[in-house]
Amino acid sequence: MAYSAFNLARVQSDFGITVQTGLNVFGHIPPVSVDSAVAMWLVHKRGLATTINTEKARSEMLIAPLLAEAWRVGNGRISFYSGVAFDVDAATELTSVCDFILGYPPQLDTVTAPVMMVTEAKNEGIMGGLGQCAAAMVAALRFNRTRTPEITTVYGCVTDGEGWKFLRLTGTTLEIDTAEYLIAEPDRILGVVLNFVGLAPAAPVAA
């Protein structure tokens, strides 16, 4: 069974998760300047990705480039995975491929210390992807308990490339940020992503 089989209600019932909404959880995080070449790429490809309007186009043209920019800025302090299997617990159906995962190093061919799970929104839109993302976050938290117990909070994001909705899971409490960050402001998105992996600037910095 895939993470995509979960909706938010099932995540709550199967794993005892309490959901908190209506919170501006990450609004205080300062932006980080995206490299000019990446920023230009996003400007030029945004319209094309929207016109093609497929998950693959949005992934290749908008989502992956911005997450890869976070990896570049991390300079060895971030691991980055795309389309990898993340099978944690078959008994509770926490298995299958995850769209994107960011974590701590080392960068290997398998996930070692997941911190952020990124889910591409499907036809149901961003809100419809919250359950899939939350299930992957639960899996990451369980994975870390036995391998990297110092990671007690896992973050998530559901995105269609245009909008980015961020989440935070600590214990059994899942916080869903009320804000939706837009690709038109990639510096804000990059700042949040870097904050999640422990690279939080005190003030806006140039990448």
| Domain span holding position 44 | 3-198
Does residue 205 lie in a domain region? no
Best CA proximity match to 93, nearest among 58, 136, 41 = 136
Write the DSSP assignment of 123-187 as a string of letters: TTHHHHTHHHHHHHHHHHHHHHHHH-TT--EEEEEEE-SSEEEEEEEETTEEEEES--EETT-HH
User: Alpha-carbon distance 87 to 108, whole Å?
Assistant: 16
Does residue 27 lie in a domain region? yes
User: Alpha-carbon distance 136 to 103, whole Å?
Assistant: 13
Does residue 124 lie in a domain region? yes
Write the DSSP assignment of 86-111 as a string of letters: ---BGGGTB-SEEEEEEEPSP--SS-
Name the band, by pLDDT with cuts 50, 70 and 90, for residue 207: very low
Does residue 204 lie in a domain region? no
Average pLDDT over residues 122-128: 90
Name the band, by pLDDT with cuts 50, 70 and 90, for residue 12: very high
Does residue 206 lie in a domain region? no
pTM: 0.94
We report the CATH number of the domain holding residue 78 as 3.90.1570
Does residue 136 lie in a domain region? yes
Counting the structural domains of the chain, the total is 1
Name the band, by pLDDT with cuts 50, 70 and 90, for residue 1: low
Does residue 118 lie in a domain region? yes
Does residue 176 lie in a domain region? yes
